[in-house]
Chains A and B, each alone.
Chain A
């Protein structure tokens, strides 16, 4: 990432912790309030016109969600990830559907899977993947999917688990097992 651009963003939007992964990819962090102004600026002024994806990482240990907006600039040939931390308890975030209509779909998914709300985003409460889900959103890390599955579905007894590598050696290639 162009260091001048970073300095600019640092001054005007309070961007921090630049992390350069390689020539074509870097990440920056920004406060929740400045996120949407920053993204608007990047899209309209700095040629980051493409929203590659928008997702959430559940940092349960820190008690926060990290929202990751991945932008791409064709003219710079550069991917820029913008990381925004929000509290796990206050799960409201400004919507960006006015910048990219496709963001609606991402926001619908994130509402369903993490319970993060994006007020005013169209169709936010429509079903995305799940139908009639009750209880806590399944992608949150405190949701115990194994236990849920055991409680909800009927287990068939007699399930065995083998270490695939070991099993293959013993059963399928016994003669070669020593040489591995």
Chain B
């Protein structure tokens, strides 16, 4: 039955020659303006999960954690900026730049930067280029699992405005509409030097106390969720993957 319907859908859209191009307007498909995120107790609904799975996941939205004041926070920021641990999750072409960065020529270890295998251990997420919708789902999932304070570095033109994939049906154009981004590095693809410059820039940002991505995410949680859910149609994970 379902298959028949599907087939009819394709048959209808087999446009004969010269007919105008028809695309379904995605805005009307998964209507995300009225997605419901919270129940009355302000807990997450987790509507993508099955009944028994819901018990296994957290239903608390992220909270804003206020920074301390004065020298203590400065000290913490200094410590954070000098031990940037990269999540070993390569997306897009740009992830290839992380290898030369690790080895002796560019040697990122001398700046206190090193890769880590799991989101829980890492503090910086390098999005190495184009993020397809399918990858976006994994990116969101990994990003939310990282412990705050956490930083995101958008590497390459693709993360900025879609780069050469700006017209692809499957590549998101602006990364910062889905997760907060601290530093962008332009180029297609940027050299490891540019990546190092970006990391140094990130260090300054953190030292000045401007690396507040995690709090920004918590503050604008609903906006980010609406954007994410608009493109990720098969949302079968918790609303907040902590």
Contact = CB atoms under 8 A, between A and B. Distances in A.
Interface of A: 60-61, 63, 88-91, 115, 117, 125, 129-138, 140, 142-156, 158-159
Contact of A143 (B3, B11, B23): B23
B160 A156 contact: yes
A135 B23 contact: yes
Interface residues of B, number: 41
A148 B26 contact: yes
Given A115-B10, A154-B174, A155-B161, A142 B167 contact: no
Contacts of B70: none
B161 A156 contact: yes
A39 to B, nearest CB: 24
B202 interface: no
Interface string B131-162: 00110010000000000000000000000111
A134 B29 contact: yes
Interface in B52-83: none
Contacts of A153: 162, 171-174, 231
A132 B21 contact: no
A142 B161 contact: no
B174 A145 contact: no
B10 A137 contact: yes
Contact of B17 (A63, A132, A150, A156): A63
A130 B22 contact: no
A77 to B, nearest CB: 36
Contact of A152 (B3, B9, B26, B166): B26
B210 interface: no
B23 A148 contact: yes
A132 B233 contact: yes
The 3 closest A-B pairs by CB, nearest first: A132-B234, A132-B233, A146-B167
Contacts of B17: 60-61, 63
A149 B169 CA distance: 5
Given A144-B21, A155-B161, A159-B166, A132 B173 contact: no
